[in-house]
């Protein structure tokens, strides 16, 4: 997964682009890069590590008064095949691009490079036609991308954004007078409003379109009919809670998932909260994506939420680690328990999902060791039975052996395999669709097997 940004502005663009890039850092923590363009040139800078590390010294390099376009990328993917933005060139155009998405390619080439290679094969004297042809060719792929394009013949540059017609990955734009701001999520752009930027228009990029900005203004070009299938995990886990995706606030959707869990399992009765004091019961989140659902659970139970786990934010995402022993160790290092919050209490802990179960068991075990006398796991997502179609490797999934069983039974059987957890309560796919509200416009393949590509 990646976070991408693009800015067109003649006003302090280097500083604003860096601030916007920080706003998508959560989507990629392995590497980052930017490309800057003006009337005379296009240049790029990339490096391995967090944005603060890569651009601590290089910031001044792309702070050039002639530049009015900057694109950037924070990547969570393997850096061995190169760090985006990727730069290609022919006799007329020099192009830097970065994308968040998936292309069906060999593991030895990055998605950005594959798109760039396909684009270069179509690149002649009309850069927009080259992007349109490439988008239509990559029908079995998905992407939200940004590109800086320097026209060496006309001596000016364009900012371009494109989104595949399924719109699986988000992309957001904000228009100000003679300015355009693009980012994977709205929150990254809205930060600039607090710094004085005023936008006339804010919206999601329409799937199946190209958005083009140059000195002549903004143009939206329709390439393919939209058939939306935005990944529902954006609302469950990937996105920042202060973002709004396809008009749906992420925090509100996650709270609704918490409400749905309490209602589906009648947890208010189960915990007998009218007789249970605050001192012997706690609803706590697995930070950070569990916080909003915890708020929803606490609201529905009519009891306050508490903090019980502190996350070391510098260890990155642990669920993507393949080695199970290393994954467990990383999880143990990542989470520390506030003993005073959990000792001698029944704990209802809320998290976004259970994938393999290693991290969930590690967290629950830490709660037990800190003195919790009962641990239930409340999961805002549904059981995961299928690896994402973009990750076809046969990785073990905790719920997979129980596919086809009622969701309540799946939770019970998964809990039996996680010795530190008493009960697992999953949401249903129906609850998830209702919480997000875009019932026919999201992808929930990993739980239901309904593939938007088929």
Q: Are residues 192 and 319 in the same domain?
A: no
Last residue of a domain, one of 228, 244, 268: 228
Please indicate, yes or no, if residue 346 is contained in any of the structural domains: yes
Is the domain of 209 the same as that of 260? no
CATH (domain of 18): 3.60.20.10
Please write the tens of the pLDDT for every residue from 131-168.
Answer: 999 999 998 899 999 999 999 999 999 999 999 999 99
In the predicted model, is pLDDT for residue 190 greater than 70? yes
Question: For residue 329, what pLDDT is reported?
Answer: 61
384 lies in the same domain as 306: yes
Residue 442 lies inside a defined structural domain of this protein: no
What pLDDT does residue 104 have? Answer: 82
127 shares its domain with 203: yes
Q: Are residues 108 and 160 in the same domain?
A: yes
Cβ–Cβ contacts within 10 Å for residue 150, how many?
Answer: 24
Dump pLDDT digits (tens) for 106-115: 777 889 999 9
Query: Do 81 and 207 lie in a common domain?
Result: yes
Confidence bin at 62 (pLDDT 50/70/90): confident
User: 175-188: per-residue pLDDT in tens?
Assistant: 998 999 999 999 99
- The reported pLDDT for the residue numbered 59 is 61
On whether residue 295 sits in a domain, the answer given is yes
Domain, as residue range, for 219: 2-228
Q: Are residues 159 and 293 in the same domain?
A: no
CA distance 451 to 4: 25
User: Phi and psi at residue 255, in whole multiples of 5°?
Assistant: -65, -40
CATH no. for residue 428?
3.40.50.2020
Identify whether 446 is part of a domain. no
> What are the residues facing 366 on neighbouring strands?
none
Residue-level pLDDT at 278 = 62
Q: What percentage of residues in the chain have a pLDDT greater than 70?
A: 92
Q: Is 240 within a domain?
A: no
Identify the domain boundary among 213, 228, 243: 228
Sort 448 into a burial class: Cβ within 10 Å, 0-12 / 13-18 / 19+.
middle
Reported as a pLDDT band with limits 50, 70 and 90, residue 320 is very low
332 Cβ contact partners less than 8 Å away, ≥ 6 residues apart: 362, 366
pLDDT score of 195: 87
Which residues is 35 bridged to in the sheet? 44, 71
**The domain boundary residue, chosen from 228, 246, 266:** 228
In Å, how far from its chain's centre is CA 284? 23
Residues 150, 276 share a domain: no
Query: Is the separation of the CB atoms in 454 and 443 below 8 Å?
Result: no
- Report the pLDDT averaged over residues 421-437: 97
* Mean pLDDT value of segment 56-66: 74
Tell whether 50 and 158 lie within a shared domain: yes
Residue 304 per-residue DSSP state: -
What sign does the CA torsion over 92, 98, 99, 102 have?
Answer: positive
- Average pLDDT (73-100) is 92
Within-domain flag for 37: yes
Q: Is residue 450 part of a domain?
A: no
**What domain count does the chain have?**
2
Residue 109 confidence (pLDDT): 82
Instruction: Work out the number of other CB atoms within 10 angstroms of the CB of residue 435.
Output: 24
Residues 211 and 295 in one domain: no
* Residues 415 and 281 occupy one common structural domain: yes
The model's pLDDT over 243-252, given as tens digits with 9 standing for 90+, comes to 999 999 999 9
**What is the rounded distance in angstroms from the CA atom of residue 187 to the CA atom of residue 243?**
5
Provide the 3-class DSSP secondary structure of residue 54: helix
Least confident of 109-123, 209-223, 289-303, 387-401: 387-401
**Stronger pLDDT, 203 or 65, i.e. the higher one:** 203
φ and ψ of 170, to 5 deg: -75, 160
Confidence tier at 393 by pLDDT (50, 70, 90): low
Determine contact, residues 422/407, Cβ cutoff 8 Å. Answer: no
Looking at the structure, do residues 177 and 310 belong to the same domain, yes or no? Answer: no
Q: Place 335 in a pLDDT band, splitting at 50, 70 and 90.
A: confident
Q: Is residue 453 part of a domain?
A: no
């Amino acid at each position: 997964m990646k976070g991408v940004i693009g800015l067109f502005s003649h006003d302090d663009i280097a500083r604003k682009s860096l601030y916007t890039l920080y706003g998508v850092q959560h989507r990629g923590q392995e590497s980052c890069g930017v490309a800057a363009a003006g009337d005379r040139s296009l240049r790029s800078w990339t490096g391995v590590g967090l944005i603060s590390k890569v651009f601590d010294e290089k910031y001044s390099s792309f702070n050039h008064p002639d530049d009015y376009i900057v694109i950037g990328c924070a990547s969570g993917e393997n850096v061995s095949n190169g760090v985006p933005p990727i730069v290609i060139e022919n006799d007329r155009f020099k192009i830097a691009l970065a994308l968040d998405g998936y292309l069906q390619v060999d593991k030895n080439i990055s998605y950005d490079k594959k798109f760039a290679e396909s684009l270069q094969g179509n690149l002649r004297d009309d850069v927009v036609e080259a992007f349109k042809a490439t988008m239509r060719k990559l029908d079995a792929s998905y992407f939200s991308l940004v590109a800086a394009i320097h026209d060496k013949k006309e001596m000016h540059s364009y900012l371009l954004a494109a989104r595949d017609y399924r719109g699986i990955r988000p992309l957001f734009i904000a228009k100000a007078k003679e300015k355009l701001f693009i980012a994977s999520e709205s929150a990254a752009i809205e930060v600039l409003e607090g710094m004085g930027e005023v936008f006339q228009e804010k919206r999601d990029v329409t799937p199946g379109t190209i958005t083009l900005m140059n000195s002549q203004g903004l143009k939206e070009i329709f390439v393919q009919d939209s058939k939306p299938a935005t990944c529902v995990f954006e609302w469950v886990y990937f996105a920042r809670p202060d973002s709004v995706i396809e008009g749906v606030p992420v925090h509100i959707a996650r709270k609704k998932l918490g409400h749905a869990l309490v209602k589906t399992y009648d947890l208010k009765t189960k915990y007998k909260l009218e007789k249970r004091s605050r001192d012997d019961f706690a609803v706590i989140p697995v930070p950070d994506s569990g916080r909003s659902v915890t708020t929803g659970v606490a609201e529905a139970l009519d009891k306050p939420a508490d903090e019980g786990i502190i996350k070391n934010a510098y260890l990155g995402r642990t669920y993507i680690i393949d080695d199970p022993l290393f994954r467990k160790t990383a999880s143990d290092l990542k989470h520390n328990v506030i003993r005073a919050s959990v000792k001698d209490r029944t704990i209802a802990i809320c998290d976004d999902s259970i994938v393999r179960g290693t991290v969930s068991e590690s967290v629950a075990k830490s709660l037990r060791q800190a003195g919790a006398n009962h641990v239930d796991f409340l999961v805002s997502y549904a059981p995961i039975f299928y690896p994402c179609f973009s990750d076809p490797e046969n990785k073990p999934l905790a719920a997979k052996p129980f596919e086809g069983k009622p969701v309540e039974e799946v939770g019970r059987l998964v809990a039996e395999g996680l010795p530190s957890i008493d009960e697992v309560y999953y949401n249903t796919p129906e609850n998830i669709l209702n919480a997000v509200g875009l019932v026919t416009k999201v992808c929930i393949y990993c739980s239901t097997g309904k593939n938007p590509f088929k």
